[in-house]
Amino acid sequence: MSIVWVLLLAASFAAAALGGRMGDLTLALASSAQGAVTLSLGLAGVMSLWLGLMKVAEEAGLVRGLAFAARPLLRLLFPEVPPGHPAAGAMVMNVGANLLGLGNAATPFGLAAMRALDELNPRKGVASNAQVLFCALNTASLQLVPTTVLALRAAAGSRAPGDVIGPTLVATACAALAAVASAKLLARFFPAPAPEP
Amino acid sequence: MLRAALDALSIWTVPVLVAGIPLLGLARGVKVYPVFLEGAKEGFAVAVRVIPPLVAVFVALGLLRASGALGAFGAAVEPLTSRLGIPASVVPLLVIRPLSGGGALGVVGEVLRADGADSYAGRLASVMAGSTETTFYVLAVYMGAVGIRRYRHALPAALLADLAGFAASVLVVRAMFGP
């Protein structure tokens, strides 16, 4: 990540130097940094609500029940997560919320899943295979109805805003399959260091 | 019909969860209120922990856009993409989609306005934006929340997923709606 980050910054600097847009960089710096904080703090309220509900659902046995139902699939994708572990329940809730297009609800469940997966992670600070696969799946936009895009299309005067739902589902499924395949296949080329004592 | 059912599903799910989970908890003998507070207390901490990685990613992307590097990249790959059936107006989406959700919606809105919502370009942009996620944001938030600094193969795997999503979008939209 360090290399990627420095590359992005260096590319911007080089492009700005060539294009004479150095002044724009300074402006963009301040507004981007500000935007990151606004977004994080905006997350805090919804995050608290869902983490609270999640805790109640967990104590009520709901999360465990869901994880139980999805057990065969989870065992296939995440063999290192023991059945009944809180990570399984949180991941199921996250994927469920994603499918329904509830981005605001999906993120807290996803973060809860990442924390539960981290309990199983012998090397803190280094992503485990399960964490990589879970993140990759989340970048594949598992959504039944792309609500934001539909709203945009309707606003732009489309006669059939919904005609992209089918193609989007197919493309999403391909992205998800590619996420699973590449996370599994690439794992051996990115070995994790030996566990801390 | 299916559309109406999916719409109803989107509208009802959140309220049903918010009302249903505490009800179920009460029925199972959970001390709902203190348990809720205990969970909710962590929400702010998580949001604060996410700030540093988000600042890093947002700043890098803001600079890429402001410096003109993003635009230059789009111009550089244009000869290749037009042969693949990706109109020039859609090319910026390939770069911006993984980087910025708001930016991607901006590009889609611009394509829909300029080429028409029901044009080939408009549909392709819609499907591409709908079938992929803001990869860098998701990784920064998820990994950042548990203090992971070494992502290992997460970035290449996620970008390959985006690439597969884009490729599938082109194939399906070409097959269904033609260029």
**A68 contact partners, CB below 8 Å, separation of at least 6:** A83, A84
Residue A194: is its pLDDT beyond 80?
no
The C-alpha atoms of residue A135 and residue A127 are separated, in whole angstroms, by 10
Nearest to B46 among A13, A111, A127 (CB): A111
* Residue-level pLDDT at A51: 80
Exposed, middle or buried by CB within 10 Å (0-12, 13-18, 19+), for B1?
exposed
Q: Which residue has the higher pLDDT, B151 or A68?
A: B151
Q: Which of residues 94-133 of A touch B (CB under 8 A)?
A: 100-102, 105, 107-108, 110-111, 114-115, 117-118, 124-127, 131-133
Taking all residues of chain A, what is their mean pLDDT, rounded to a whole number? 84
What string of DSSP letters covers B149-167?
-B-TTHHHHHHHHHHHHHH
* Residue-level pLDDT at A49: 84
Which residues from B are below 8 Å from A51, CB to CB? Answer: 39-40, 42-43, 46
> Which residues, listed in sequence order, are joined to residue B4 by a DSSP beta bridge?
none
Say if the Cβ atoms of B108 and A192 lie within 8 Å.
no
Which of A102-106, A141-145, A180-184, B56-60 has the highest mean predicted lDDT (pLDDT)? A180-184
* Residue-level pLDDT at B23: 93
- Structure tokens, A123: 């090397």
Q: Decide if A70 contacts A88 (C-beta within 8 A).
A: yes
* Residue-level pLDDT at B160: 94
Which residues from A are below 8 Å from B133, CB to CB? Answer: 138-141
pLDDT digits (tens, 9 = 90+) for A125-156: 899 999 999 999 998 878 777 777 877 888 78
The C-alpha atoms of residue B6 and residue B21 are separated, in whole angstroms, by 22
Nearest to B150 among A49, A62, A125 (CB): A125
* Residue-level pLDDT at A110: 92
Say if the Cβ atoms of B130 and A164 lie within 8 Å.
yes
* Residue-level pLDDT at B11: 67
Residue A197: is its pLDDT beyond 60?
no
The C-alpha atoms of residue B14 and residue B158 are separated, in whole angstroms, by 28
Which residues from B are below 8 Å from A47, CB to CB? Answer: 43-44, 46-47
Task: Return the residue in A5, A117, A138, A152 with the most chain B beta carbons within 10 A, the one to mutate for interface testing.
Answer: A152
In terms of CA atoms, which chain A residue is nearest residue B20?
A: A57
SS3 category, B79 = helix
pLDDT confidence band for A172 (50 / 70 / 90): very high
Could you report the predicted ipTM of this complex, rounded to two decimals? 0.79
* Residue-level pLDDT at B95: 83
pLDDT digits (tens, 9 = 90+) for A25-42: 888 888 888 888 887 787
CA-CA distances (angstroms) from residue A73 to A139, A169, A184, B158? Answer: 19, 20, 15, 20
- Among the listed residues A140, A144, A134, the one whose alpha carbon sits nearest the alpha carbon of residue A110: A134
Which of A37-51, A70-84, B99-113 has the highest mean predicted lDDT (pLDDT)? A70-84
The C-alpha atoms of residue B72 and residue B69 are separated, in whole angstroms, by 5
Say if the Cβ atoms of A174 and B164 lie within 8 Å.
yes
SS3 category, A87 = helix
pLDDT confidence band for A119 (50 / 70 / 90): very high
H helices, E strands: number in chain A: 9, 0
As a whole-number percent, the residues of chain B with pLDDT over 90 amount to 31
B155 touches A: beta carbon within 8 Å: yes
Q: Decide if A164 contacts A92 (C-beta within 8 A).
A: no
> For the residues B53-60, what does the mean pLDDT come to?
80
* Residue-level pLDDT at B113: 84
Residue spans of alpha helices (H) in A60-128: 62-69, 71-77, 86-99, 103-119
> For the residues B98-117, what does the mean pLDDT come to?
83
Nearest to A171 among B35, B153, B168 (CB): B168
Nearest to B43 among A44, A59, A134 (CB): A44
Residue with tokens 């009460």: B26
Nearest to B62 among A32, A61, A190 (CB): A32
Say if the Cβ atoms of B168 and A170 lie within 8 Å.
yes
Q: Which of residues 70-99 of A touch B (CB under 8 A)?
A: none
pLDDT digits (tens, 9 = 90+) for B157-166: 999 999 999 9
Q: Which of residues 62-81 of B touch A (CB under 8 A)?
A: 62-69, 72
In terms of CA atoms, which chain B residue is nearest residue A35?
A: B58
- Among the listed residues A162, A140, A148, the one whose alpha carbon sits nearest the alpha carbon of residue B165: A140
CA-CA distances (angstroms) from residue B41 to A116, B32, B46, B140? Answer: 17, 14, 9, 22
* Residue-level pLDDT at B164: 95
Which of A160-169, B58-67, B118-127 has the highest mean predicted lDDT (pLDDT)? B118-127
pLDDT digits (tens, 9 = 90+) for B25-41: 999 999 999 999 988 88
